[in-house]
A and B are shown apart, each in its own frame.
Chain A
Amino acid sequence: MRGEGHTIESNQMVIPIGALDDLIGALRERGYRVLGPTVRDGAIVYDELAGAGELPIGWTDSQDGGHYRLERREDDARFGFAVGPQSWKRFLFPPRLRLWRARLGGGVPAVEEEPLDDQPLAFLGVRSCELHAIEIQDRVFLGGRHTDRDYASRREDVFLVAVNCFEPGGTCFCTSMGTGPKVESGSDLTLTELFDGEHRFLVEAGSERGAELLAGLSGRPVGPADVEEAERSVATATDRMGRTMEAFDLRDLLERNLEHPRWDDVAQRCLTCGNCTLVCPTCFCSAVEDETDLSGGEAERWRVWDTCFSVDYSHIHGGSIRPSGRSRYRQWMTHKLGTWHDQFGSSGCVGCGRCITWCPVGIDITEEVAAIRATDGAGADATVA
């Protein structure tokens, strides 16, 4: 149904809060499994949504180093929070994935590749930093000589409904990384939640299929007050980042500070628990697990999430290349902020702050970078006299 005064060519519209249910419904009708934020176990996680009522209505998150709490808002904002412990990568790059099965015994083993999951997904509530993270993982899994078959299949049809942040978190620093808070591109639809006078969404289409879906929703044309409030919302969010990181020249800075004493300092605190790699939306390391049943008649290969913080991660015959926690923390941080540029042409960090929030001891990469910058070159001289 077309909204009043709205043509199929228009790519923006204002919809009332209730229309969010229609949006979800329209996606489900088109065969998408709609995934979005919902409250569970004291956190905001991403899961299948049957309707807009399952969103974290009136909730916000309080985040700091090693700290995450949900708190009640005074309004009933649908997206009044930053990001939770999960990222969208769990749907595009599942934590556990069977790659193939083989039947052994009697002649040549027959290998049966796992059929691809062809259920199209819709992500509702994707932040700008998360869009960038998805783009980064696209480069990892699809940009090289060999692509990831499963990721390609899951990624192909994903319908992205992005949301402009108006409530950045205590550990957010997307502005430092150039990844937000405003959604610039890469989504099918973008929602900006507005409150003045009427609780509503400004919806912008970013693709043909986004425009097509938008055309089916009831709403009204965008007015100057809507635009003004949306701009103000973005500007406010931009100024309220919980952290900053000076990202200039980070690749070279880290490359020349591989023996900086700060690594010893952070090693004293880091538990090498790997939480940061689990919550990070761009971490992509995986391990291959080859399993067999007790009879030895059937074998399976699984791909599972791995973390560079485990000692086994770098194990070769003879021992691990990185036995110390110091070397493993250094590997993670210098890869994420430094050598990722060499490998994939961009930073691996989108400034979402999850690694800071979910570190049990509150290690803060923005602080670690600042500390190294402050004494750039320390520890480089090999001879102590």
Chain B
Amino acid sequence: MATATVIERPGPGSMVPAPFLVAAREQDTVDTWTLTLDPIDGPRPSIAPGQFMMVYAFGVGEVPISVSGPPGRPGPVVLTVRSVGAVTAAVCGSEPGATLGLRGPFGTPWPVESAGGGDVLVIAGGIGLAPLRPVVLDLLERRTGYGSAAVLYGARTPGDLLYTRLFDSWRRTLDVEVTVDTAGPDWPGRVGVVTKLLPGARFRPEQTTAFVCGPEIMMRFAARALLERGVAPERILLSMERHMDCGIGLCGHCQLGPTLICRDGPVYPYSTLAPWLEVREL
């Protein structure tokens, strides 16, 4: 059989994945890995914070994964992936030298610029820190552009915390407060829900932008806690997740009421989403 020609670099809205080489693979927790990928052909993409890629494991399938690397400039694609099914298991198991297919980046970004001049809260639950890491990286780089800045991070157990090796360097520039739901005697840190970290955080509610990511119920409770403290609902940003097949607004799956999460999201102000979040099974 004649060798098939690789098609020219797929266009931005294509259903054809572009091949990327796994350059590095690091295990974060018992079921989470961070992969660094480089395009085999063509320039490295520039990805806005909060955007996602459709990640294809050849012969297995494709899933949306948020990008975790430095935002806004050409660079390797960094993906932190939790192994929860066949596709993510194949992605997580890809060793350096393996090829994955990527489409994207897609979606609306965290509006980090709009937080400039005010206080910033980055509130993450579990794997939710991965889509927020580009925000943290941006804050680290442009620290003087903000007032107080804090990362409030909660996970199930100490073993489930992501990027712990980075926290010390982050702490040189930002407040980083961590908590877990349960822990053994070796854990010297806090145990409790992530919203419990709010009273201890330094921020002026009327000047604060909060970037929140985690399980939907956690985002709902975090948003409520922020509202109760006086943060404006349009300055509470959430990153939503729904089933996606295309990532480009054509398959219909990612609808939440009037919005398509791949196209109008995944990042939304809480003020926009609030009525839809309250309807069960929408």
Contact = CB atoms under 8 A, between A and B. Distances in A.
Given A108-B6, A299-B59, A331-B255, 12 more contacts: A103-B4, A108-B40, A111-B16, A141-B250, A148-B250, A290-B60, A292-B59, A315-B243, A316-B242, A321-B281, A324-B281, A343-B259
A109 B281 contact: no
A178 B260 CA distance: 27
B130 to A, nearest CB: 14
A240 B26 CA distance: 69
A262 interface: no
Given A321-B243, A339-B258, A110 B12 contact: no
13 contacts: A111-B17, A111-B101, A112-B5, A147-B13, A258-B282, A288-B15, A290-B62, A314-B242, A316-B243, A321-B282, A326-B281, A339-B257, A342-B258
Contact of A100 (B15, B246, B250, B253): B15
A104 B257 contact: no
Contacts of B250: 140-141, 144, 146, 148, 284, 286
A314 B255 CA distance: 9
| B interface, size bucket | 35 or more
A342 B62 CA distance: 28
Given A285-B252, A288-B251, A110 B56 contact: no
A116 interface: no
Nearest to A326: B281
Interface in B220-265: 241-243, 245-246, 248-253, 255, 257-260, 263
B19 interface: yes
A306 B6 contact: no
A339 B275 CA distance: 14
B242 A321 contact: yes
A317 B85 contact: yes
A327 B280 CA distance: 8
B30 interface: no
A5 interface: no
Contacts of B84: 317
B61 interface: yes
A145 interface: yes
Interface string A87-108: 0000000000001111110001
Interface of B: 3-7, 12-17, 19, 21, 40, 56, 58-62, 84-85, 99, 101, 241-243, 245-246, 248-253, 255, 257-260, 263, 279-282
Contact of B4 (A99, A110, A285, A288): A110
A197 interface: no
B65 to A, nearest CB: 12
B281 A323 contact: yes
B281 A290 contact: no
Contacts of B16: 99-100, 111, 113
A104 B58 contact: yes
A145 B243 contact: no
Residue of B12, B14, B252, B280 with most chain A CB atoms under a 10 A cut-off: B252
Contact of A303 (B5, B15, B242): B15
Contacts of B40: 108
Contacts of B101: 109, 111
A112 B6 CA distance: 6
B62 A288 contact: yes
Contact of B99 (A109, A141, A331): A109
Contacts of A145: 13, 248-249, 263
Contact of B282 (A313, A317, A327): A327
